[in-house]
Amino acid sequence: MRHTTMAGTIPAWFSRRSPAAARLLAVGLLGLATPGCLVRQELYDQARAEIGREREEGNKARAEAQSARAEAAQRSAQVAALEAELGRLEDDLRARDLTLSEATTAEAGLVRRLDELAAMNEELSARLRSAGQSVGQLANERGSLSAELAEVRAKVDELRRQQAAAEARAAKMRDLASRFQAMVDGGKVRVEIRGGLPLLEISSDALFDAGKAEVKPAGRKTLAEIAGVLRTIPDHRFQVAGHTDDKKLSKNARFASNWDVSAARAVAVVEVLIGRGIPPQRLSAAGYGEFAPVVSNAAEAGRAKNRRIEIVLLAEQEAEAAGKTGKALGEAGPVAAP
C-alpha cells in the first residue's frame, strides 16, 4: 500500500512505522513539488514534535521490556535458590537417616553383647560360688557395658530429636513457600531459612523512603498481602526484625543511629500488621542496625540487600525461648520493642 501526495507516493511500511514521520515527509515533498509555495512552518514543527514523542515512547517501551526481562531473571534466580535450599535440607535428612540407622545397628549389637555377658556372668558366678571366689570383677564389667549402652541410647535419642526437628523445618519451609508463592513470583518477598528458622524478607527500599520510618503507600499494600497470609498460619508468633546497611547517618538525620532506624521501622511494620488483623500478642519487633548483614556492604548492591525487613516465624515453644533469651536471630543482640 502507498500513500499518494502531490509530490508522489510514500511507502506503506514507512507510514505504518511512524505516522508522524510520514506526514513530515509528505509536507516536505509537497513543498518541493509546489514551486513558489512555502510549507507552513507550524505544520512542519508539529510533525517534528510528533516524531520526537514517538521516538521517546519507543525508547521507553524498550527500557520497560529490558526491565521486565531483568525482573524475570531475578525471579528465576530466587526460585532456583529456594529449590537448592530444599535440596540441601533433603540431603541433610538422608545423612541423618543413615547415621540413625548405624546407631540403631550399634545399639542392637551392644544389647546382644550384654545378653551374652549376662549369660557368661551367670555361668561364671556359679563356678565362682562353688570355688568360693568373688564375682565383683564381672559385676564391674557389666556395669561398664551398661553405662556404654546408656550413652549410645542417649545419642540415638538425640539423633532422632534432630531428625524430627529437621523434618519439621523442611515441612514448614515448604508450607511457607507455597503460601507466599504468588508474592515470591512477583518479586515482593523472599522465603529463606536463617538460624534454623523460616522467614520472609522484604526490601526496606520497597517499604520506606531513605532515612524514614513511615511505611509508604505501596509498602502498605505489600504488608496487607503479607498479613492476609500470616492470618492463615496458626500456632505461630512473628518477630519483625529491622536491618540496615553500614552507611552512617548524616548529622541532620532524624535518628541518632542505624539501631534507631531499624527498630523504628520494625515497630512501624508491626503497627501496620496489627491494623491488618494480626493479634498484637503474636507480634514483636527488633532492630539489628547494620550488625547482622547477609552479604558484604562493600558495593551498593550488597548494601541494598542488607537494607531489609525480616518477618521470622516462631512456633510457640520457639517464641517462648526467644522471649527468655531476649533475641531470635543475629549474632549481635537486637534493640527490641515490646
Higher pLDDT, 307 or 153: 307
Q: What percent of the chain has pLDDT over 90?
A: 32
| Max avg pLDDT among 38-47, 97-106, 145-154, 302-311 | 302-311
Do 198 and 169 touch, CB atoms closer than 8 A? yes
Pairing of strands 236-243, 197-203: unpaired
Which pLDDT does position 255 carry in this prediction?
A: 93
Is 38's pLDDT higher than 50?
Answer: yes
What pLDDT is recorded for position 155?
84
pLDDT tens profile 292-323: 999 999 999 999 999 999 999 998 655 555 55
CATH number belonging to domain 180-337 = 3.30.1330.60
Q: Which residues of 260-293 are buried (b: 16+ CB within 10 A; e: fewer)?
A: bbbbbbbbbbbbbbeebebeeebbbbbbbbbbbb
pLDDT tier, 166 (very low <50, low <70, confident <90, very high otherwise)? low
Structure confidence at residue 21 (pLDDT):
66
Give percent helix, percent strand, percent coil of the chain, each to the nearest 5.
65, 15, 20
Give the CA distances from residue 263 to residues 83, 267, 288, 328, 336, in Å, rounded to whole numbers and listed in that order: 32, 6, 7, 15, 7
Higher-confidence residue of 120 and 20: namely: 120
DSSP for 175-226, written as a single string = HHHHHTHHHHHTTS-EEEEETTEEEEEEEHHHHB-TT--SBPHHHHHHHHHH
Instruction: Please name which of 29, 21, 28 lies closest in space to residue 47, comparing C-alpha atoms.
Output: 21
Please tell me the predicted confidence (pLDDT) of residue 5. 47
Domain-by-domain residue ranges, the chain?
94-168, 180-337
Handedness of CA 43, 45, 49, 54 (dihedral sign): positive
Please tell me the least confidently modeled range out of 26-35, 110-119, 297-306, 323-332: 323-332
Residue 204: per-residue pLDDT: 96
The answer on pLDDT for 37 being more than 80 is no
Find the angle CA(144)-CA(149)-CA(152) to the nearest 5 degrees: 130
User: For position 72, what pLDDT does the model report?
Assistant: 86
pLDDT at 35: 55
Higher pLDDT, 20 or 259: 259
**Does residue 167 register a pLDDT over 50?**
yes
For the ranges 18-32, 140-154, 174-188, 293-307, the maximum mean pLDDT occurs at: 293-307
Task: Say yes or no to pLDDT of 179 above 90.
Answer: no
Residues 200-244 pLDDT 10s: 999 999 999 998 999 999 999 999 999 999 999 988 999 999 999
Question: What integer is the mean pLDDT of 236-258?
Answer: 92
Banded pLDDT at 18 (limits 50, 70, 90): low
Higher-confidence position of 37 and 78: 78
- What confidence tens digit (pLDDT) does each residue in 68-90 have? 888 888 888 888 887 888 888 88
Average pLDDT, the chain: 81
Of the two residues 43 and 205, the one the predictor is more confident about is: 205
pTM listed for this prediction: 0.51
